[in-house]
Copies of this chain bind each other. A is one copy, B any other.
Amino acid sequence: MSRALRLARRGLYCTHPNPRVGCVIVADSGKVVGEGFHVRAGEPHAEVHALRAAGERAYGGTAYVSLEPCSHQGRTPPCVDALIAAGIRRVVAAMQDPNPQVAGSGLRRLAAAGIEVDCGLLEAEARALNAGFIKRMEQGLPLVRVKLAMSLDGRTAMQNGQSQWITGAAARAAVQRLRAQSSVVLTGADTVLADHARLTVRPAEMDVNEEQARLAASRPPLRVLLDSRLRVPLSAPFYQAGKALTVCHQASAKVRQSFQAAGHELLAAADASGHIDLFELLRLLAGRGVNEVLVEAGATLSGAFARAGLVDEYQLFVAPKFLGSTARALLDLPLERLGEAHALSILDIRAVGEDFRIIARPL
């Protein structure tokens, strides 16, 4: 199963909206006879790749798969049928399908066909690999990851806005990988205007092997810009860098046409108070198959996600320096009493080049 998960991880940058899944077929002799991973939506599932590689050697063998095999006809035929047809004797899944309406039905169909079935091996690892997909299936919302680059004293830029290259090359490569694994990279107008940010994935800067860079390039995330008053011109590098989805308060037919003509999508969405409703936006994105959203924005928009309780994970890239007490705050998050502090759970701290990265989740 550990091997199946490692295979699944090879799809980190390309399977969305589908989950990352790996499969290993082990013959009765204990020998691995086939393996595979899901690469891209519309293409064969991991089980199919593994069964093809195994051929007749799959007969009587065990299939280790990091997610319950599907039992429904989607863009590809059900994997359950393929496993039964190949004469697999036993199926071990790391976890059930997270869709509450289908969870367990694939395993039940295998069992009904006389196949020995087990589920739950390395389940925590399997769930972590597809946390966004699982959240979308279970809650109809994508996983929201907020990335921030800060100094050791919690500042993101000087008062005058100076902030370029706070963190080093290794941290920037890690951010590229975070973008590549996301279905959506979401930002705000201030960031795009101030930094001329494009927020694209540049595979050559990801510091991954050729296969991974190629897979990432084949499935770039959708870039979503929150620009209530449409301050960012279509001539900005952000729009020149490829198709984007822009969310604003309102737009005339003429503006809509200009966006359409430039290959972008424009969405007018404001709540009663004239703000963009982040929760509704996330629901809308989930409805489009978005599993993981990376928020790469300034203190205002990142703070809005934090205040609304919509953050699943913070990725804090911390540079070993002090920017001082007049520098800009990490998040626009005004709190009065200690009891209002946002409690977090630290999942990981590790060095990333000269910097370090803290992964934390709100408690």
Contact = CB atoms under 8 A, between A and B. Distances in A.
Number of copies: 2
A274 interface: no
Contacts of A324: 331, 333-335, 340-342
Interface stretch (A146-154, A185-193, A195-203): A146-154
A343 B316 CA distance: 18
A332 B324 CA distance: 7
A335 B320 contact: no
A320 B345 contact: yes
Contacts of A345: 320
Contacts of A337: 158, 160, 162
Interface residues of A, number: 47
A129 interface: no
Interface in A204-258: none
A279 interface: no
A331 B321 CA distance: 12
A162 B341 CA distance: 11
Contact of A338 (B162, B329, B342): B162
Given A335-B324, A336-B158, A344-B320, A152 B329 contact: no
Given A154-B153, A346-B356, A326 B330 contact: no
